[in-house]
Amino acid sequence: MPTTNSLDDLFAVFPCDSRCPSDFSAGFDAVLSRLSVSSSLTSRRFPVWSLVRAHLNIAFDRAIADYEGIWAIDLLAGAQLSEMAKTPPAICPELMVLVRPDGQADLHADLVATDCTAGKPVNMPEIEWQLLNLERWDANLRFAIRSLHMEGGKCSPSGEALCGVLESVRDLFRLLKSFRPRVTKAVRDFDTLVDDRTRPQHAVYCELCWRESIRSKRLQFIDDQERREVDALLSLAERPLVDLLAMRALAVSLKITKWQSSMEGLISRSRACELGLIFERFRIERMNAGNLSQRYCSIHKPGSAKYHADLRYKAAFSHHLSVLQGRGKSEFALNLPVPNSADMQEFRKTAYDQVHSGLHAVAPKGSPSMGLREKVLLMRQEGLSQSEMARRLGVSRQAISKAKKSLETLVDVHQAGSYLNPLTGEAQVPEHIRARIRDGMDRGLSVAMIAREVRLSKGTVDGLIRLMDDRDSACSS
């Protein structure tokens, strides 16, 4: 579930499409305004889907009924908008490649009946079932949008409103995936719920970069340790148990003595006592973790050299993060691209790379003045030749050529390290790049020299090196 500080960021990342009809836009905004940090996909006290039912169901159905053109409407048959998380689609698109007489290949989708389970499997957690169905419906929405587009990739004027509605529904589903319950009934392989695009819950980020705070990382480590110990203990039990997290919920919310009595008949009293001791020990560890910093990560500990080096970028970093989320105007002529389907941590990584790119001073006394590379970029967009650029700027043509190459290198360097590993929070780079970084470390090269060799930013390489050091120390211990 998101925190209070991250709600506004989430809403900024997933706005309603401007092409939507007014009634759908109003309903979309009403749903967002009523979501809170207590809301979750499975909550009965703070429900999510009842908000969708009250504010969006009718507007969604009206948008579909108002469009009279031909499109793959069957892809959305079988469930109301508010019921899609609990009901799998009846049909799905099957991709086919058709070759035209001129030899060009077209991607075509045939609609076929799905083999999805009609109901939730007995031992499947409700949240996992909902997330699975949202993925299925997202695929149908994507191909329904494609069917609305004419040749050339443009939507017909009469279908613009419906396209906007379907795109907004996709964004809504991606937004709601962040509202997972804090505690849920689950099977033993609960870790499968951590997918490639979702960070662990309760993530709080460093004020100076994209990494999670010291306290946030420690709490995640405690959760993982607790889950492993509980699983190891219960694997020795005579009777199989499935509701591991439900038992942890009882241990947290009830007194240990009451929790032990509630488990009678499922496991022995002695094993219940052992579980109670595990939960109590980790509860104390969480209390101790509350003394750790919630504002900074382990790299930016106050007083460290890295902290002082990046502190002057704090205001610029915060401002550009709001720019990427559509809440401000960029001060840069060149804006580094955000990764496709970026999550909040990757938005923050892009903002960090931008303000540390050296394009111009980030903390000037007056208004920021553009550097040579930005001036060259703007003149290049005007169509000026290198000779004319050199004459206007009073520099040599070689300096103009070097500035152009530097801009291309800057974008390439950012893109190479823009996607993050969802488990480590550092750049997801190939193994051969990590091997070259290790080799540079063995040769005693500085972070800047290694970054130039592997064509990554210094911040990216610094994080990867620290991650390698942590793993090496863990292995040695």
Whether the Cβ atoms of residue 64 and residue 73 lie closer than 8 Å to each other: yes
User: 457 and 435, same structural domain?
Assistant: yes
- Whether residue 401 lies inside any domain: the answer is yes
CA dist list (Å): 55 to 26, 31, 34 = 8, 7, 11
* Predicted pLDDT of residue 475: 57
User: 369 and 284, same structural domain?
Assistant: no
User: 430 and 411, same structural domain?
Assistant: yes
The pLDDT confidence band at residue 259, using thresholds 50, 70 and 90, is very low
CA 284/CA 74 separation, integer angstroms = 54
User: 413 and 273, same structural domain?
Assistant: no
- Whether residue 456 lies inside any domain: the answer is yes
User: 190 and 175, same structural domain?
Assistant: no
Find the mean pLDDT for residues 23-33: 92
User: 65 and 188, same structural domain?
Assistant: no
- Length of the chain equals 477
- Whether residue 421 lies inside any domain: the answer is yes
The pLDDT confidence band at residue 150, using thresholds 50, 70 and 90, is low
Alpha helix (H) residue ranges in 177-297: 214-234, 244-253, 256-262, 269-289
User: 426 and 441, same structural domain?
Assistant: yes
Nearest C-alpha neighbor of 420 from the set 310, 343, 316: 343
- Whether residue 342 lies inside any domain: the answer is yes
CA 197/CA 422 separation, integer angstroms = 7
- Whether residue 115 lies inside any domain: the answer is no
CA 346/CA 204 separation, integer angstroms = 14
User: 292 and 379, same structural domain?
Assistant: no
- Whether residue 428 lies inside any domain: the answer is yes
User: 62 and 174, same structural domain?
Assistant: yes
Domain count across the chain: 3
Q: If residue 93 lies in a helix (H) or strand (E), which one and from where to where?
A: strand 91-99
User: 152 and 17, same structural domain?
Assistant: yes
User: 214 and 159, same structural domain?
Assistant: no
- 195-224: per-residue pLDDT in tens? 433 444 457 899 999 999 998 889 888 888
- Whether residue 323 lies inside any domain: the answer is no
Cβ-Cβ contacts under 8 Å for 471 (sequence gap 6 or more): none
- 69-114: per-residue pLDDT in tens? 888 888 888 788 999 988 888 887 765 545 556 555 454 556 666 6
* Predicted pLDDT of residue 139: 82
User: 28 and 47, same structural domain?
Assistant: yes
* Predicted pLDDT of residue 262: 46
Q: Decide which of 161, 179, 197 is a domain's last residue.
A: 179
- Whether 372 shows a pLDDT value over 80: the answer reads yes
Q: Decide which of 179, 199, 216 is a domain's last residue.
A: 179
CA dist list (Å): 370 to 5, 113, 314, 325, 377 = 32, 58, 19, 23, 10
* Predicted pLDDT of residue 112: 61
- Whether 326 shows a pLDDT value over 70: the answer reads yes
Cβ-Cβ contacts under 8 Å for 354 (sequence gap 6 or more): 320, 332, 335, 336
Full domain range(s) for residue 200: 183-311
- Whether 133 shows a pLDDT value over 90: the answer reads no
